[in-house]
């Protein structure tokens, strides 16, 4: 009895694979340079790309950059604001929903003015959200 295995994958050519790895590394270098320039501003960025095609960007804002929060948040679609015992986090999407972004800042590092600007940028209805005891608040993009 003969068993024949059929696969949809094309044969891998070592040289072509090496070229693709080199191309991916070159793109990663560009991302690295951008991440380093943001770190100098007090914004730490981590980008994760999964095999399933999901891209997640985690942004942590230091106290010296907390004033940048409203600008970061305004770029998000379908955003949700949450507060944990240690931080404020806004999660949303960019790039037509293809990229998930999570922006967080320790709540002890946010001034009252920064928090007011953050809440204004997320454009929430405080009466509906907090009157119902909701811990997270859905928000839309501000115009």
Transcribe 75-143 into DSSP letters.
Answer: T-EEEEEEE-SSEEEEEEEETTTTEEEEEEEEGGG--HHHHHHHHHHHT--HHHHHHTT-SEEEE----
Beta strand pairing call for 99-106 and 55-61: parallel
Question: What pLDDT, on the 0 to 100 scale, is given for residue 90?
Answer: 86
Higher pLDDT, 107 or 94: 94
pLDDT, position 44? 93
Q: What is the pLDDT of residue 59?
A: 92
The string of pLDDT tens digits covering residues 28-47 is: 888 889 999 999 988 999 98
How far is 39 from 81, CA to CA, in rounded Å?
Answer: 23
Beta bridge partners of 47: 57
CB 113 within 8 A of CB 129: no
- CA distance readout (Å), 34 to 44, 80, 126: 11, 26, 36
pLDDT tens, position by position, 107-132: 887 778 777 777 776 755 444 444 44
pTM for the model stands at 0.67
106 has a pLDDT exceeding 90:
no
Instruction: Work out the pLDDT band at 58, boundaries 50, 70, 90.
Output: very high
Q: How far apart are CA 116 and CA 63, in angstroms?
A: 15
- On average, the pLDDT of the chain sits at 76
């Amino acid at each position: 009895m003969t068993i024949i295995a059929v696969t949809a994958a094309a044969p891998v050519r070592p040289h072509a694979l090496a070229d693709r790895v080199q191309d991916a590394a070159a793109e990663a270098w560009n991302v690295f340079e951008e991440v380093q320039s943001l770190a100098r501003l007090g914004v730490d960025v981590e980008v994760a790309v999964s095999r399933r095609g999901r891209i997640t960007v985690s942004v942590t804002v230091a106290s010296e950059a907390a004033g940048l929060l409203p600008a970061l948040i305004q770029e998000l679609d379908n955003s949700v604001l949450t507060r944990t015992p240690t931080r404020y986090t806004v999660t949303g999407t960019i790039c037509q929903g293809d990229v998930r972004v999570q922006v967080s800042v320790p709540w002890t590092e946010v001034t009252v003015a920064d928090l007011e600007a953050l809440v204004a940028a997320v454009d929430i209805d405080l009466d509906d959200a907090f009157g119902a005891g909701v811990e997270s608040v859905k928000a839309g993009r501000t115009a």
